[in-house]
Amino acid sequence: MNRHKAAQTQVFTFILASTIWAGCASHNVNPHAARPHTGYVDIFDPEGREFSWDIHDARQQRSLYTEYKPQGGIVRLALSPGPYQLKINILNTVVSKPATIETQLVDGQVTPVRIQLADEGSTEVERKHSQVPGRYLRRTKISGEENQSFRIEAEVLPSIPYCPKEQVPYALK
């Protein structure tokens, strides 16, 4: 009976470890060589600022990439070759309208997209904070804050042969 329990424990441990390992595996969008039947798009800010990105496929109405934690460098997406209409937004900056680009991804190549912010002016954000100190007393504090608003300008650059993100000519050193 003890051997049976030991065998069950080993099988259970193997299944659990396999599940955890498979769950932690992710697609590598920065391999040493391009994967077959895959085109890549690199979205980058030449000034190296850290942004929270939100990238959608506008034609298929699906999210391709969303990262709330601000990050610098290049965001690389691995997609099937073909035409795409990408909607690019920055979540941690006041943006008047997301950028929309049209691009053709080529198998084994990287299509760079340069992002720049153009000044749109300033916007006043009004915040209301209600305080309820007693049963019938209510105070509302209103404060105003001025924020800079930007327009995202995206430029699709000519495709280049695949290479890892660290080796592309537009990577910040």
| CATH number of the domain that residue 89 is part of | 2.60.40
Q: What is the 3-state secondary structure (H, E, C) of 76-89?
A: EEEECCEEEEEEEE
Determine, yes or no, domain membership for 1. Answer: no
By mean pLDDT, which of 114-118, 138-142, 168-172 is the weakest? 138-142
Domain span at 59: 34-167
Residue 13 has what pLDDT? 58
Q: Which two tokens stand for residue 21?
A: 């390992």
Determine, yes or no, domain membership for 8. Answer: no
Determine, yes or no, domain membership for 68. Answer: yes
Judge whether 40 and 78 are in contact, CB under 8 Å: yes
Report how far residue 136's alpha carbon sits from residue 139's, in angstroms, rounded to the nearest whole number: 10
Determine, yes or no, domain membership for 26. Answer: no
Domain count, the chain: 1
Computed over every residue of the chain, the mean pLDDT equals 84
Determine, yes or no, domain membership for 24. Answer: no
Judge whether 121 and 82 are in contact, CB under 8 Å: no
Residue 138 has what pLDDT? 67
pLDDT band at 171 (very low <50, low <70, confident <90, very high): confident
In DSSP notation, 30-95 reads S-SSPPTT-EEEEEE-TT---B-EEEEETTTTEEEEE--S-B-SEEEEEE-SEEEEEEEEETTS-B
Determine, yes or no, domain membership for 22. Answer: no
